Chains A and B, each alone.
Chain A
Amino acid sequence: MLLDRLLAFFSSLKLTVVCLALAVVLVFIGTLAQVQLGLYEVQARYFQSFFVYWQLPGTAVRIPVFPGGYLIGGVLLINLFVSYFTRLDRQRLHPGLLLIHFGLAALMLGQLWTDLAQRESVMRLAEGETKSYSESLRRTELAVIDPSDPQVDRVVAIPESRLRPGTTLTHPQLPFAIRVQQFWVNSAPVRGSTNATAQVTQGTGRQTQFVPRPPVTTTDERNVPTAILELLDRQGRSLGTWLVSDWLLEPQAVEVEGRKYLLALRLARYYKPFSLTLLEARHDKYKGTDIPRNFSSRVRVRQPATGEDREVLIYMNNPLRYGGFTFYQYQMAADEAVRMRGQKPTSTLQVVQNPGWLMPYLACTLVSAGLLWQFTGHLFAFLRERRARLNGRAATPRPEPA
């Protein structure tokens, strides 16, 4: 009984319409909210969530006020499956309908996969520079680097989200614990003295004063975080307090148990098994104007594992697809003005890793094939019926005029 009611609810067409209407409203309010929150925050709060919450002013209580993108999408997906299987004609298989429904499901699941697994980062290169890592556009990490090996650095990278004031972080690779005394999502260096960073006792971070700043939300600015960290040895004794900031040009040095470590708060890095060298960045303009004609980066790809070493030209709409990553031409500082100022031209490549990139193609193919099957079937049925009707009409004797 209950099952029947549940099935009736989840297979109803009304539910589909309500979900689609809610999705339209969600997109609308999400677009409006971007003014205050910015693109990335809105994505996380409105679309990559089950509910949109409203926080009671002055409290930490969050009340769900609207279904989020995951909930609406999830219900639509269930609705799709349940309605297909409850209305399924068990006597006859309808391949067209089957393909259409699976195609739509693949589209939704593919989007979810992309949402969860896609990673976007950037690789900034000056001419002549080689890098084997890309950096996040927004996420920062606390990198604890052990530089003792002459060949490689051993890095323990703690994501920004774990740096909550008051928490103590430990890791088996580290001979010390890190107690987060302060973490500012956005900060700025200031002249003169403030008491904001008075407790810092170690490192070059002592010499600069920082103050917290409100987080920025627009896509062309980014937060520059600062943290104050107290390090504790294995016995829990304090080793001192350090300041790490993305503003500081150098990492902070720490010596524990006779071993040197470096602490750096920096944009999260994603290392690749290959390297890219920027050979030439070009920003061409139409002669006599400032209208851009071409942005291109000539890069050298080196893969030590296979000995591969080749040159590639990356330009607008012609990305480099390599090793599961796609490198798009993204930003450029290489025009005549840059060269005249005596700077090295730089190029920024957007690095996209999306294991689910084939899903939309697959889904669209399935839906197209299903629609084709369905409509062709209907067309043939109609033609058969028409022919039968015509034949039938021909067989009946014409009535004689009275």
Chain B
Amino acid sequence: MNRLALAGLLGLAAGCGREEIRVYEAPKDQPAAAGAQALPDLGQPAAAARPQLTWKLPPGWQERPATAIRVGHFVVAGPGNQEAEVTVIPLAGTGGSDLDNVNRWRAQVNLPAITAEQLSRLAVSVPIGGFEGQLYDLVGDSYEANDQRTLAAILRREGTAWFFKMTGPAKLVGDQKGAFLEFLRTVQFGGASAGTGAGTAAAASSPAPPASAAAPAASGDAGLPRWQVPEHWQAQAPGAMQAARFVPRDAAGRAEISVAMLPGDGGGRLANVNRWRRQLGLEPIREADLATAVQPLQAGGAAGYWVDLPAPESGRRMVAAAVQVGDRSWFYKLTGEAAVVEREKPVFLQFVQTAAYAP
């Protein structure tokens, strides 16, 4: 009898360690969970839906099958059996700091590590599918034939860090830089699936644009100014920190208009202008030069200023305006290819000037 009880107890004890299979009904996962993720800086996989991307394949690039990690993978062949590799990797979260990433890539092309301050000077703003990303060009000092060069662009958007990277022999990567920048410009986020179909650009995650004139920019947000949106501008889903975003219909991917709001004066006139200059890869200016750089602006009963910043080296240009209303500042930016910015500039300035701010 006692033995039986002992055997029963042992059986019970053994059974305790066995986890049972659970059966349950669960509400379906929200697809909007893309912003959430597990342990951001450990590079963990996102629990959410797989990010999607479409692009226009530059001539001479060969596509390789995508993987769960690389949503885009290409090979570019050069003379003498040389090959450069292009990868597109989305990582949920930050994907680590830019400094760590850049220093890792620098180590791969035998370059010494740099500091955070040097990093900000190396970063060049580039358009990536209508958004603004940072491009790092990492090339060694020596001119040996087998020297490696890396072009790496980073875009952080809606909780995902996108890494676009071209690595290969310095000469070949240099030749392909134009094609790489063009590739970055043509990518479209939020498409049905990754593929080569040019122009299959699925709409960005936000639906129908309020294209009609005099429509409030975004319905349901009383904090936004009322403005006259030009007929040929198409509203897009605003990025983080942005209040609104538009692209000229015939120049999508080549120029964009963004509106952002910051409390106070947003850091001051000099800081704002130098931030915009940095985004174009331009040297900062001094306080003394500010008076000649900025122009005054009257907008909706409030005073502001605007600047026109051409960047001839990259062929890009920015017209940016700031309007302070009460305890907050509104920032308007028209950024893109110089020719498109030139064309849109009068419409843009009129757009800024006709904005009406809630009292």
Q: Is A344 an interface residue (CB 8 A)?
A: yes
Contact of B32 among A128, A267, A269, A338 (CB under 8 A): A128
Contact of A155 among B24, B35, B37, B40 (CB under 8 A): B24
B37 contacts A346, CB within 8 Å? yes
Q: Is A340 an interface residue (CB 8 A)?
A: yes
Q: How far is the CA of A248 from the CA of B179 in the complex (A)?
A: 31
B47 contacts A266, CB within 8 Å? yes
Contact of B40 among A173, A339, A346 (CB under 8 A): A346
B157 contacts A342, CB within 8 Å? yes
Q: Is B219 an interface residue (CB 8 A)?
A: no
* A to B CB contacts below 8 Å, 7 in the list: A132-B27, A152-B25, A155-B23, A157-B21, A157-B23, A205-B68, A222-B39
A-chain residues with CB within 8 Å of residue B33 when the two chains form the complex = 126, 129, 131
B-chain residues with CB within 8 Å of residue A343 when the two chains form the complex = 35, 93-94, 156, 158-159, 240
**A271 in contact with B68 given A156-B21, A339-B240, A346-B40 (CB within 8 Å):** no
Q: How far is the CA of A338 from the CA of B35 in the complex (A)?
A: 12
Q: Is B120 an interface residue (CB 8 A)?
A: no
Q: How far is the CA of A153 from the CA of B25 in the complex (A)?
A: 6
A-chain residues with CB within 8 Å of residue B18 when the two chains form the complex = 161
Which residue of chain A has the shortest Cβ distance to B17 in the bound complex?
A161
Find residues 134-175 in chain A having any chain B CB closer than 8 Å to their own CB.
Answer: 141, 147, 151-159, 161-162, 169, 171, 173
A342 contacts B68, CB within 8 Å? no
B195-222 vs A, Cβ < 8 Å mask (1 yes, 0 no): 0000000000000000000000000000
**A342 in contact with B239 given A224-B45, A248-B68 (CB within 8 Å):** yes
**A344 in contact with B159 given A157-B21, A161-B19 (CB within 8 Å):** yes
B241 contacts A339, CB within 8 Å? yes
CB distance from B8 to the nearest CB of A (A): 17
B25 contacts A154, CB within 8 Å? yes
B-chain residues with CB within 8 Å of residue A266 when the two chains form the complex = 47
B26 contacts A248, CB within 8 Å? no
B-chain residues with CB within 8 Å of residue A155 when the two chains form the complex = 22-26
A-chain residues with CB within 8 Å of residue B156 when the two chains form the complex = 341-343
Q: How far is the CA of A131 from the CA of B47 in the complex (A)?
A: 13
A346 contacts B35, CB within 8 Å? yes
Q: How far is the CA of A217 from the CA of B22 in the complex (A)?
A: 27
A342 contacts B28, CB within 8 Å? no
B50 contacts A250, CB within 8 Å? yes
Quick one: which of B39, B50, B93, B159 has the most chain A CB within 10 A? B159
Q: How many residues of B contact A (CB 8 A)?
A: 44
Which residue of chain B has the shortest Cβ distance to A147 in the bound complex?
B28
Q: How far is the CA of A87 from the CA of B159 in the complex (A)?
A: 67
A158 contacts B21, CB within 8 Å? yes
Q: How far is the CA of A271 from the CA of B49 in the complex (A)?
A: 20
Q: Is A230 an interface residue (CB 8 A)?
A: no
**A249 in contact with B25 given A204-B68, A346-B36 (CB within 8 Å):** no
Which residue of chain B has the shortest Cβ distance to A264 in the bound complex?
B47
A-chain residues with CB within 8 Å of residue B27 when the two chains form the complex = 132, 151-153, 271
A126 contacts B35, CB within 8 Å? yes
CB distance from A103 to the nearest CB of B (A): 27
Contact of B49 among A152, A205, A250, A267 (CB under 8 A): A250
B241 contacts A342, CB within 8 Å? yes
Q: How far is the CA of A315 from the CA of B29 in the complex (A)?
A: 27
Q: Is A351 an interface residue (CB 8 A)?
A: no
B-chain residues with CB within 8 Å of residue A151 when the two chains form the complex = 27-28
B-chain residues with CB within 8 Å of residue A161 when the two chains form the complex = 18-19
Q: Is A64 an interface residue (CB 8 A)?
A: no
A289-329 vs B, Cβ < 8 Å mask (1 yes, 0 no): 00000000000000000000000000000000000000000
CB distance from A116 to the nearest CB of B (A): 8
B69 contacts A344, CB within 8 Å? no
Chain B positions near chain A (C-beta within 8 angstroms): 18-30, 32-33, 35-40, 42, 44-51, 65-69, 93-94, 156-159, 239-241
Q: How far is the CA of A225 from the CA of B40 in the complex (A)?
A: 18
Which residue of chain A has the shortest Cβ distance to B240 in the bound complex?
A342
Q: Given A207-B67, A343-B240, A346-B159, list of 9 further CB < 8 A pairs?
A: A126-B36, A156-B23, A157-B22, A159-B19, A208-B68, A339-B240, A343-B35, A344-B35, A346-B40
Which residue of chain A has the shortest Cβ distance to B41 in the bound complex?
A333
B-chain residues with CB within 8 Å of residue A147 when the two chains form the complex = 28
Q: How far is the CA of A333 from the CA of B156 in the complex (A)?
A: 15
Contact of B68 among A157, A158, A189, A220 (CB under 8 A): A189
A208 contacts B21, CB within 8 Å? no
B-chain residues with CB within 8 Å of residue A340 when the two chains form the complex = 241
A224 contacts B44, CB within 8 Å? yes
Q: Is A101 an interface residue (CB 8 A)?
A: no
Q: Is A282 an interface residue (CB 8 A)?
A: no
A246 contacts B19, CB within 8 Å? no
B42 contacts A221, CB within 8 Å? yes
CB distance from B180 to the nearest CB of A (A): 20
B21 contacts A171, CB within 8 Å? yes
Q: Is A125 an interface residue (CB 8 A)?
A: yes
Q: Is A247 an interface residue (CB 8 A)?
A: yes
Which residue of chain B has the shortest Cβ distance to A249 in the bound complex?
B50
CB distance from A172 to the nearest CB of B (A): 9
B94 contacts A341, CB within 8 Å? yes
Which residue of chain B has the shortest Cβ distance to A269 in the bound complex?
B26
Q: How far is the CA of A339 from the CA of B28 in the complex (A)?
A: 29
Which residue of chain A has the shortest Cβ distance to B23 in the bound complex?
A156
Which residue of chain A has the shortest Cβ distance to B93 in the bound complex?
A343
Q: How far is the CA of A132 from the CA of B30 in the complex (A)?
A: 11
Q: Is A133 an interface residue (CB 8 A)?
A: yes
Q: How far is the CA of A340 from the CA of B239 in the complex (A)?
A: 11
CB distance from A386 to the nearest CB of B (A): 54
B-chain residues with CB within 8 Å of residue A171 when the two chains form the complex = 21, 23
A-chain residues with CB within 8 Å of residue B22 when the two chains form the complex = 141, 155-157, 159
A241-254 vs B, Cβ < 8 Å mask (1 yes, 0 no): 00000111110000
